[in-house]
Every structure is written in structure tokens, then in C-alpha cells.
Amino acid sequence: MPQPTAAPTLAGRMCMQSGQVVFAGSGPGDPDLLTLKALAALQQAEVILFDRLVSPEILELAGPQAILENVGKEGFGAQVSQQHICNRLITHAQAGKRVLRLKSGDATLFGRLDEELSACDAAGVRYQIVPGITAASAAVAGIGQSLTQRGRNSSVRYLTGHDTQGFADHDWQALARPGEVAAIYMGKKSARFVQGRLLMHGANPATAVTVVENASRTNQRVLETTLGQLPADLAEARFDGPALTFLGLAPRASLTALPDLPVQTDLKMELA
Ligand code: SAH
């Protein structure tokens, strides 16, 4: 008779060292979308420096020994300087702590990771990077779509609506072409700017645009609109949570027709 095998434990998969920094993505908010490595780091860390968008449910998974420091920044104008965050990382690591730097989504995307890695390099602090599920992956799953599609788009762009200088510039001409798909992060305040640039470069005002607020969270909301209507519809929706804007994608038609059905059911997929 086959013997039941023991379930693998988290210990052994990931072992944080003292004086080391782990940079981990916490995913889009749903704790079930954490990686096992990020969970192990949460349980082992002595100090956790976390961003504003890391959800409270995820912070609750921290070990009892962990000291939690909120180093969150708001879009348009930092409250906590990047220099301060780098200093905190280095100070804790040099004091021999196991430090977890927890960033929302994937730490390598729009998270100013490089500046913190450079600070570690300069101070001789060891680190490792643990990837996470980025907001665009969660949001596209939430609307039953695919980021790429044969015959429609063979590439997808990840854009930020603004950077430290203000509204961010992009290759608007390329983005305005039919069939392009882009995931726009931090795109709420820049919606009118993005719309204006795209229309100026010849984009069709009827291009599908979808905004997903709080992707993967229990309070996820979806706004289905067009490029022409985006600023007006977004203002009306009054989204106050983090929101991801898709240029060139509409929610899958079967989801819109039967909004009460959960996205993942087999029925949904058959209807698609
Ligand atoms: N590193 C993160 C992005 C940080 S920038 C990642 O990989 O997801 C912050 C922006 O991410 C927000 O302004 C918003 O556009 C997007 N975002 C983060 N979490 C989100 C969520 N749960 N739902 C929708 N958008 C989200």
C-alpha cells in the first residue's frame, strides 16, 4: 500500500540569513497569491519594511518577532523619501537583522527596486529578490482576458501613468495602433493626459479601455469603457483604491453578460 508522503514544509525552501535583505513582491493583495518564498520570509523576518499597497491581510502573516515599518509613499509626492528607506534597510541589515523589504505586486516593476539594491551594493549588504504576481496579471485574470492573443497582439507593454517628474511620456504613436495592449499602472490621475496623447497620435476613441480597481481583492471593481469616455467614466466611478488601466482590452463578453458567475467556473470558460 502506498504510504502517504509528508507535506513539504516551508522550512528548507527559504532560509533568511541575519544581516540579509530579502526583496519580495507581496502580489496584488489577495494573500493566496503570495509565493511560498514570500510567506516564508514574512514568517522569518525580524524587520519588515512595507509599502502602502501591501494589504493588511498579508502583514498579518508576519511572525510574532517581526517589527513592521510602514515606508509607504503616495503617488505624486513622496511622504517617505527613497533615501530614508535605503537608510533603514542598511541600518537594520548592518545590525544583523533578517530584513524583509515587501513591495506590492512584483518588486521589480515600478517599485524603485534598483535604488535599494544599489544602496545594498554600496554598503556590502547581501540580498535576494523574490518575484511576485504583478497587478496586471491579477487584473487581466479578473476580466477573463489574456494579455496576449494570437492575431491581436504579440507584445504587451507595462506603462506608468506618471513618474517622479510628473506625467510619463511614452511611444504614443506605437500605442495608438489598433490591437495594441498596454497595462497602465498609476493611471488614474493621468487618465486625461494619456487619453489626450493617444488621440493626438491617431488612436480610435472607440478603443476598449478597462480599469480594474483592487484587483484580486474582495472589493475588486471593474469599469468597462472606451478611450473616448475614459476620463469622464473614471471620474464618475470614483475609484479610491489602486487601479490598473488596460488599453485595448474589454472584459470577456460572457462575464459582462452574466456578472454573477465567478470568473473561474468551467461554465464561464465554456461560454467564452
Ligand atoms: N510593483 C507593483 C506596482 C507598484 S506601482 C506591481 O507589480 O503590481 C502601484 C500601482 O500598481 C497602483 O497605482 C496601481 O496602478 C497598481 N496596483 C497595485 N495593486 C493593485 C491592485 N490590487 N489592483 C489594481 N491595481 C493595482
Give the start-to-end residue ranges of the domains of the chain.
Answer: 15-133, 136-247
Determine the distance separating the centroid of ligand 1 and the alpha carbon of 244, expressed in angstroms: 7
Burial of 78 (0-12, 13-18, 19+ CB in 10 A): middle
pLDDT value of position 58: 97
- Note the pLDDT tens digit of each residue in 100-154: 999 999 999 999 999 999 999 999 999 999 999 999 999 999 999 999 999 999 9
Strands (E) in the chain, as ranges, are 21-25, 47-50, 67-70, 99-103, 127-130, 157-160, 162-163, 166-167, 182-185, 208-213, 221-226, 243-247
Catalytic: 171?
A: no
pLDDT confidence of residue 257: 67
Q: Which of 51, 103, 106, 188 is catalytic?
A: 51
Eight-class DSSP state of 105: B
Q: Which CATH superfamily is domain 136-247 in?
A: Tetrapyrrole methylase, C-terminal domain (3.30.950.10)
Its CATH architecture, for the domain 15-133, is 3-Layer(aba) Sandwich (3.40)
The CA-atom distances, in angstroms, between 73 and each of 51, 70, 83 are 7, 9, 12
To the query of whether residue 266 is one of the catalytic residues in this protein, the response is: no
E strand or H helix at 136 = helix 135-142
Q: pLDDT by residue (tens digit) across 22-64?
A: 999 999 999 999 999 999 999 999 999 999 999 999 999 999 9
